[in-house]
Structure 1
Amino acid sequence: MRLRGITCAAVAAMLVTLTACGGGGGGGVKPSGPGRTEHGASPAPQSFTAPTRFSLRHGKPVPESAAADKVRVVGGLSHPLPVALHDGVLFIARPDGLDVVSGYGPGDPVTITPDRDPAVTLDHVMSISGHNPAEAPLITSSGGRTLALSALVTKVTGSGTTKPHDVVELMATDTVSLTKRWFTEIRLAAGDEYSGDRADANVVGRAGDIVVVFGRGRLFGVDLKSHRRVWTAKGTYEKGAVVAGDRVVALRDKPAGDNQVVGLRAADGKDVWTSPRSGLELSAAAPEAVMTYEYPTTDIRDRRHHLLDAATGGTRRTLPEDAPGSDCAYDGAAVTVCKGRDGFDETAAAYDPKSGKEIWRLPDAAGTRVAPEVTLVRAGLIYGKANGKPVVLDAASGKDKETRPGIAPYVADGYVGISETEDTTGLTAYRAVG
């Protein structure tokens, strides 16, 4: 593990709330908590559980690694950002490491790198505007520490007559000391080193003590206590699997070319159920439910969204043909919010995650309101843009909650929200102020 260009002073400058960097045995930075100041550092800003306003006057540019191949040239998000927030600090997954930087204080990023050479570097991705395989890390607790778990593909060189091969490295970075606490390597089957998906790897989620990892079409289970791979799921899969309850729900490749939604036991990776339909899309819809886009194998034209129980695969509800059902997210409180398109117009709807009953939909039947372009669903709120301007909606009712939020964040916590920088293709972290 290497830290690029890190000094005690540099790390101290990066995190606004800190204690002094100590010598020997377990130094690093330690947040001193919101509102406190030590050694002349600025206080952390106030935190809001569900912020509705962000200050355009308090913005900090986000490292290029967060936007590489993720933001269109003309603006707008093209893929989910590879960013997780923890107490206002950004953890940015990249194909060759992990960047960590404060979202509100001064300082340059700390970069955590793998022990081996990465299969793809960020410089390569940015130079050719190519595929950036990085996805957001998972922030989770284990052994009394809060960790940022990220995955990337690295290269093992050949020795003697032994062929070289690739591995997925699962890195566990301590969110306080900003050091790699541990890592594990998962060997990958041989593949085309020039293929666009060679470096595809990400942390899918966690169920109990098992972390589910995706790597080049395969799914693996890693035990958080032993730090070892304990299972490999049979078959190959499309990117985009989710952990819902104690199940891993994924799109498995079929020889005929159609994919199929399957439910695996997170504890051992074994099959529990298989959908009778062919699958096209999959997204998390609630703590123990998923939304799929499938069609009967006998009629490819009958494509519908299905709210499935993750434990059994049973259908809670099949949505009407015109219902928004793509790219769904649970609001963390009571409803599942999904978006879609009707021609050139945005659509959005909220559903009861248990019954699948539609609670509200935009545009409304009266034709008086438009649907927002949803950027984030979090803490009972919907962030997005409507009529070309940011807006915040109450997820339970669909009503406007704040019409002048400042930004429409793609990622947010109680301290900052991340959105496009005005008039540029970069990203900026803006402070939450209300």
Structure 2
Amino acid sequence: MALAGSLLTACGSGEDSQAADDAPSAAARTSAAASRPVHDPPATFATKGARMPDGLLADILDLDNRLVGPPSVTLYGKTAYVGAFDYVQAIDTTNGHVTATIEPAGKALVEGDGTEHKAGAPAIVTIGGTPALLTPFPVKVSGTGTQASHQAVEIDVSDPDAAKVLWRVTLRLPEWADEPGTELTATAVGADGNTGVVAVSHDDSHAVTYGIDLTTHRQIWVQDGFAATGIAEGIAVGWETEKYEAHAAGHDAATGAPRWQGQTMVSQTVSALGPHFVLLQGGHWGSEKPYVQLLDPATGKTKQQLPVQLSKGTCVYDEKSTLVCHGTGAGTDDDAAFALDATTGKTLWQLPDQQADRIAPEITTAWYGRVYGKTGNGPVALDARTGQDLPTSPRIAPVLVNGSAGLALAKVDGWKTELFVYPATG
């Protein structure tokens, strides 16, 4: 049984054919950084970018150079926060320089003997109207006296403008986390009001989710056996295990109380898709016949069936009003693209459109009403509400974007695919 704890927030992308090593001089970039305007959404990006840290594409890039998982990066203003299990780096998106590093106060776990730990992207939350960076780190707490050593999760909350830790809280993990060879993945899920939500998991078999009061810095609730992957309408949604079976599930984000549990599934992916829907991709138990559904976050009931082409596809919310999805045609390798209203789920447009002689792009992400992607003709941008081509090429096909920069794949030395950051230019 293969479980995916979260869905891509940026759809898969083919790599940009241009290497991105020869960016402008550091002095020129530093001067430009101070005056860089914000574009919501960007229409164009610089064609030369800065290489991001190594390892961001490990295990999430398939043989066709498409992303099958999200890179552990969060964009905030002109900074890219890159998460690892034992640190977070703040990177200036103007020049790729590391400006700060956030590390846990506790003892970071040690990797070895084939054991690897992972981290999701840090999350930007709001505390009392002020943005904050939420980052969980798995740590080792040494024993004292009769108290045995054990694994824990240290949750750091930082000022994202200064990359400085404001406060920390350390919570003990369940006993399964102490077993030898356990590989932990720590994920900052997000926040609902004053409650921050953090999940820690091991493979498909074990998970735990915590609710933290972001004002008092105390644990409110804990649910062992549940891995939250997102929050929608006050419900922490994700998957939970029970007697080796997996279910989509929803828990109240403020209290942790169970709200609903879905049917037993295989190969499932459960994700909050925008503020009003849960996206469920899975296979029926026994037949493993694929299906894709939009669920009501409050009840877990199916609100809409989506095209089967999306059973192995990806979807993204443009942070405004539209859900954009990308998959491949049934039994083919042809791209298929769909857009839905983020409130009603109504289909807005889909490609390909044979009558209009239009093909579907390989969608990479969407932001504030603009869809980014690529075809055999190069990078393209579409209007998220109408699906119509926009006149200006974005120059790159970003997989993650904000008003200041975009992250995209590019080849290095003519063969190796890496992640680069490109400033927004218009």
User: TM-score category by the smaller chain?
Assistant: 0.7 to 0.9
Shift of 1:110: 1.5
Match of 2:45 in 1: 54
> Would you say 1:262 and 2:262 are equivalent positions?
no
Amino acid at match of 1:168: V
Counterpart-to-counterpart distance in 2, 1:390 and 1:195: 47
Aligned to 2:423: 431
Counterparts in 2 of 1:165-204, with a 5 A limit? 165-191=150-176, 198-204=183-189
Determine whether 1:98 maps to 2:88: yes
Match of 1:332? 319
Please point out which of 180, 183, 197 is paired with 1:212.
197
RMSD over aligned CA atoms reads: 3.0
Q: 1:241 aligns with which of 216, 229, 233?
A: 229
**What's the offset of the Cα at 1:209?**
0.6
Higher RCO, Cα 8 Å, sep 6+: 2
Residues 79-126 of structure 1: CA deviation (Å, up to 9, x unaligned): 2111111111111111111101211147434111101221256xx79x
Seen in structure 2, the aligned counterparts of structure 1 residues 288 and 355 have a Cα distance that, compared at 3 Å, is closer
| Alpha-carbon distance between aligned partners in 1 of 2:314 and 2:410, rounded to the nearest angstrom | 24
The 3 A distance-change label for structure 1 pair 264 and 79 is same
State the one-letter code of the partner of 1:406: R
The residue aligned with 2:399 is 410
Match of 1:119 in 2: 109
Q: Structure 1 CA distance, aligned partners of 2:57 and 2:46?
A: 21
1:162, 1:365 → 2: CA distance?
68
- Give 2:148's aligned residue: 163
Bigger drift between 287-296 and 177-186 goes to 287-296
Cα distance, 1:389 vs structure 2:
2.4
Could you list the runs of 5+ residues in structure 2 that have no partner in the other structure? 1-25, 202-206
Counterpart contact for 2:33–2:94, Cα < 8 Å: no
- Letter of the aligned partner of 1:245 in structure 2? E
How big is the shift at 1:270? 0.5
* Distance in 2 between residues matched to 1:325 and 1:397, nearest whole Å: 24
Distance 1:324 1:296 in 2: 12
Q: 1:52 to 1:188 in 2, by over 3 A?
A: same
SS at match of 1:241: strand
Amino acid at match of 2:46: S
- Counterpart AA for 2:253: A
Larger displacement relative to structure 2 (179-188 or 111-120): 111-120
**What residue number does 2:70 align with?**
80
Q: Distance in 2 between matches of 1:323 and 1:76?
A: 15
Question: Which of 370, 381, 403 in structure 1 is aligned with 2:359?
Answer: 370
2:239 maps to what in 1? 251
Q: Which has the higher strand share?
A: 2
1:367 to 1:378, Cα distance in 2 relative to 1, 3 A: same
Tell me the equivalent position of 2:9: none
CA shift at 1:368, angstroms? 2.6
Q: Which amino acid aligns with 1:174?
A: D
Task: Go from structure 1 to structure 2 and tell me whether the alpha carbon gap of 1:303 and 1:401 turns closer, same or farther (over 3 Å shift).
Answer: same
Q: TM-score, normalised by structure 1?
A: 0.80
Alpha carbons of 1:327 and 1:237: their partners in 2 closer, same or farther (altered >3 Å)? farther
Give the number of equivalent residue pairs.
389
Distance 1:409 1:320, change over 3 A: closer
The offset of 1:132, in angstroms, is: 5.8
Structure 1 residue ranges without an equivalent (≥5): 1-12, 18-36
How far, CA to CA, are the matches of 1:377 and 1:77 in structure 2?
Answer: 15
TM-score by length of 2: 0.82
Identical positions, percent:
29
Contact 2:177 2:184 in 1 (8 A): no
Query: After the TM superposition, which residues 305-384 of structure 1 pair with which residues of structure 2 at under 5 Å, given as runs?
Result: 305-322=292-309, 326-342=313-329, 343-366=332-355, 368-384=357-373
SS in 2 for 1:43: helix
Superimposed CA distance per residue, residues 186-234 of structure 1 (whole angstroms, 9 cap, x where no aligned partner): 111233668776221111111111111101211110110011111012x
Question: In the aligned structure 1, how far is the partner of 2:404 from the partner of 2:327?
Answer: 29
Q: Cα deviation per residue 1:280-317 (whole Å; 9 max; x = unaligned)?
A: 222222202111124565x6355322211112223221
Residues 78 and 301 of structure 1: CA distance in aligned 2, closer, same or farther (over 3 Å): closer
- Partners of 1:273 and 1:102 lie apart in 2 by 42
Instruction: Give distance in 2, aligned partners of 1:339 and 1:83.
Output: 21
